[in-house]
Homo-oligomer: A and B are copies of this chain.
C-alpha cells in the first residue's frame, strides 16, 4: 500500500500531564510550525476553563495562538463564523467529555469536512479521552468499567473515521476496560482494539504508530480467534473467546497497523 499523504493523529488516553514534563503536549507542539491550534471542546457540557488551561500549558512550547471551537447545537456547525475559525489552521485538539456530543453535533457538517481536509492535507489532529475515542470509524460510547463483557453489552457508534479498522478505548488500565475492548473486537475481528492508558498516547503517521507517555497501550487482536460465543449466547451471559493476541506497548514501542505487528519504534 502506498504511503498516504495524510497528516498525524495523536490519540491520548486522557489526563495527559500539564504540570510536569508535558511529554504529550510537547509532541503535539512539535507538529505545529505556525503556533496555531484550534481546541475543540465540543465533547464537554461545561467547557469553561479548558481554553485557559491549554493556553497556559502550551504557552512556552511555541503554541501561542490557541482558539476555541465550541457548538451548543448542531446548526451552529454550519455557520460561516465557526468555519472561519478553521481557516489556515493545521492543528486541531479535541478535549474530553462525551464522544457522542462530538459526533452528533459536528458529524457530517462543514466543520467535520474541514477537519478531514486539515488531516488529509498533512495537519495534526489530536484528541484526549472522548477526543481519542472519536478518531476511529466505530467508537465505544458506553460499556461498563471493571467488569467482564456480557453478550448484550453492545455500545458502539460511528466515529469520525480518521483511523480505519481500529477501535480506541481510553483511561484504559485506570478504569479497568479490558473487558469492554475485548467485547468490541469480538464483534468483528477486522477491528483492532487499542486501549490507551492515561498520560499515554499513540502518534499515528501513515500505517504506523509509536507510543509516548508514562503508561501502556494495549493491542487486542482477534484475528486468530478460534471460538467465541458472541453471536449465540444470551444477553446476560459472560463472553467466551479463545486465542486473542495481546500486546502491551510502552514508550519506545511502535506498531504497524497493516501487518498488526509491534516493534521497537523508529525515532519519530
A61 within 8 A of B: no
What is the total number of residues of chain A having a CB less than 8 Å from a CB of chain B? 39
Interface pick from A78-86, A105-113, A249-257:
A249-257
Q: Which residues of B contact A179 (CB under 8 A)?
A: 173, 216
Q: In the complex this chain forms, how many copies of it are found?
A: 2
Decide: B229 and A240 in contact? CB cutoff 8 A.
no
Q: How far is the CA of A229 from the CA of B252 in the complex (A)?
A: 11
Q: Which residues of B contact A248 (CB under 8 A)?
A: 148-149, 182, 238-241, 244
Q: Which residues of B contact A53 (CB under 8 A)?
A: none
CB of A227 to closest CB in B, whole Å: 8
List the interface of chain A (C-beta within 8 A of B). Answer: 145-149, 173-176, 178-179, 182, 197, 200, 214-216, 220, 227, 229, 237-253, 262, 264
Q: Which residues of B contact A215 (CB under 8 A)?
A: 147-148, 238
CB of A187 to closest CB in B, whole Å: 14
Q: Which residues of B contact A264 (CB under 8 A)?
A: 227
- A220 closest partner in B (C-beta): B246
Q: How far is the CA of A178 from the CA of B215 in the complex (A)?
A: 14
CB of A4 to closest CB in B, whole Å: 25
